[in-house]
Amino acid sequence: GAVVSQHPSWVICKSGTSVKIECRSLDFQATTMFWYRQFPKQSLMLMATSNEGSKATYEQGVEKDKFLINHASLTLSTLTVTSAHPEDSSFYICSARDERGALDEQFFGPGTRLTVL
Amino acid sequence: GQNIDQPTEMTATEGAIVQINCTYQTSGFNGLFWYQQHAGEAPTFLSYNVLDGLEEKGRFSSFLSRSKGYSYLLLKELQMKDSASYLCAVYTGGFKTIFGAGTRLFVKA
């Protein structure tokens, strides 16, 4: 199967600090990964598309200087929330696109719950 | 614009059948996903429809009508563990998937 991991699963930080979240595809290579944010009782909102070896594509309204994305290898993408503030508290979920099968399926990581005090 | 609509909440009884509807208006369409998401967890894949018609997979079935911009997820023989949010998502192409707000299903005994 296709497994995606995220680390850490939860993090609490002080306002103004930076937090890095890792997303790894464990048993397949992913040239494309996606970062989503989900607020309570709301849907997943796509933040950006992470492409291996190139710059990420950000959705409208997402600050690229605040949410830094690095997709340095075919199995790892990182999201860094810089100068985090309480309004950045959310559930961050990554997914990786599995290109091996006929179905262009995304596999989701378990998510990272960020709480900014 | 991109718009995906589904009911906010539904309640059904254990052992019953429930249908969760989804309508969509998107700038592109390559397929429609249904995901199940339990609170605090990531979504898990349930189904993917590309062509019109009904796809059956065990207790879960999904239907698509592309001309009507409409899909539904049918859950049979409901179990308590089916209590979760069900997300309708449209694959618009360019590797981009747009999610609806989700339908919270409560299964009662």
Q: pLDDT at position A106, please?
A: 81
Triad B71, B103, B59: Cα angle to 5°: 65
Minimum Cα–Cα distance from A103: chain B residue: B48
The answer to which of A13-17, A74-78, A95-99 has the lowest mean pLDDT is A95-99
Residue A86, judged by CB atoms within 10 A of its CB (0-12, 13-18, 19+), counts as exposed
Residue of A22, A25, A41, A32 whose CA lies nearest to A112: A22
Determine, for residues B95 and A49 on separate chains, whether the beta-carbon distance falls below 8 Å: yes
Task: Give yes or no for a contact between B7 and B87, defined as CB atoms under 8 angstroms apart.
Answer: no
Minimal CA separation from A101 to chain B, in Å: 13
Q: A27-73: per-residue pLDDT in tens? A: 888 889 999 999 887 888 999 999 888 889 999 999 999 999 999 89
Q: pLDDT band at A1, cuts 50/70/90?
A: low
Q: A3-40: per-residue pLDDT in tens? A: 899 999 999 999 999 999 999 999 888 889 999 999 88
Q: A81-94: per-residue pLDDT in tens? A: 999 999 999 999 99
Expressed in percent and rounded to 5, the helix, strand and coil fractions of chain A are 5, 55, 45
Q: pLDDT at position A76, please?
A: 94
Task: Give yes or no for a contact between B46 and B34, defined as CB atoms under 8 angstroms apart.
Answer: yes
Residue ranges of chain B with per-residue pLDDT less than 70 = 94
Task: Give yes or no for a contact between A109 and A5, defined as CB atoms under 8 angstroms apart.
Answer: yes
Q: Measure CB to CB from residue A44 to each of B41, B91, B99 and give the nearest one.
A: B99
- The Cα B66–Cα B49 span in angstroms is 10
Task: Give yes or no for a contact between B3 and B24, defined as CB atoms under 8 angstroms apart.
Answer: yes
- The Cα A117–Cα B68 span in angstroms is 46
- Tokens linked to A28: 């397949």
Residue A104, judged by CB atoms within 10 A of its CB (0-12, 13-18, 19+), counts as middle
Q: pLDDT at position B34, please?
A: 95
Q: Measure CB to CB from residue B45 to each of A32, A42, A105 and give the nearest one.
A: A105
- The Cα A36–Cα A93 span in angstroms is 5
Most A CBs within 10 Å, among B2, B90, B96, B105, to test the A interface = B96
Q: pLDDT at position A103, please?
A: 63
Minimum Cα–Cα distance from A6: chain B residue: B42
Minimum Cα–Cα distance from B97: chain A residue: A46
> Running DSSP on this structure, what letter comes out for residue A86?
G
